[in-house]
Amino acid sequence: MQTAIFTEADRAQVSFLAPLEKKTLIWLARRTPAWINSDHLTTLGLISLLGAGLSYWYARYHRSGLLLVAACLALNWLGDSLDGTLARVRNRQRPRYGFYVDHIVDTFGVLLLLGGLAMSGYMRAPIAAGLLTTYYMLSIEVYLATYTIRNLPSFLLEVQPH
């Protein structure tokens, strides 16, 4: 396989909670048992979104499904956010693999979550479909911008893609 140099795109963490989240994730990563690696956490993130989607569907028949959704989303945050931090804390980064898998997992995760929401009766299916479509279009825009803008000479970079 060709191993061309891979340059990671800059991350823009603009949420006011981002610094607190970062500290929390580093704290958690340093206390994560050695037998747990970032692949386990990525898998947890995807499975928890499947759980969230199924819980939304279950909420159609019983409101307690909504509580399960909240629990699954908390697990998703743990898995999806901690996998990269764990890799960085342990100096086990895989930039290309991580970038690719993270976004593919997000792609399926959003489908599972919004699919469940569409079947929950709490949101009409056309609105869930509209959200999914717009999210995918925005994702395509971000990926194309990341590819094209990052490959421009640096003096042309007035604004980083985000």
Using the minimum distance from each CB to other proteins, give the nearer residue, 104 or 138. 138
Q: Tokens 């985000």, residue?
A: 162
Q: Tokens 């003096």, residue?
A: 155
Rounded CA separation 117/10 (Å): 32
Using the minimum distance from each CB to other proteins, give the nearer residue, 77 or 122. 122
138 binds other proteins (CB under 8 A): yes
Using the minimum distance from each CB to other proteins, give the nearer residue, 104 or 144. 144
73 binds other proteins (CB under 8 A): no
CB < 8 Å & 24+ apart, contacts of 101-108:
101/42, 102/42, 103/139, 103/143, 105/42, 105/45, 105/46, 105/80, 106/80, 106/139, 107/136, 107/139, 108/46, 108/49
Identify the CA nearest to 123 among candidates 48, 60, 51: 60
122 binds other proteins (CB under 8 A): yes
- The nearest distance, CB 56 to other proteins, in angstroms, is 10
Identify the CA nearest to 58 among candidates 13, 123, 117, 15: 117
The residues in 5-64 that bind other proteins, with binding defined as CB under 8 A, are: 63
148 binds other proteins (CB under 8 A): yes
Instruction: Give the binding range for other proteins (CB under 8 A) out of 2-10, 75-83, 100-108, 134-142.
Output: 134-142
> By the criterion CB under 8 A, which residues form the site for other proteins?
63, 66-67, 117, 122-124, 127-128, 130-131, 134-135, 137-138, 141-142, 144-145, 148-149, 152, 156, 158-159, 161
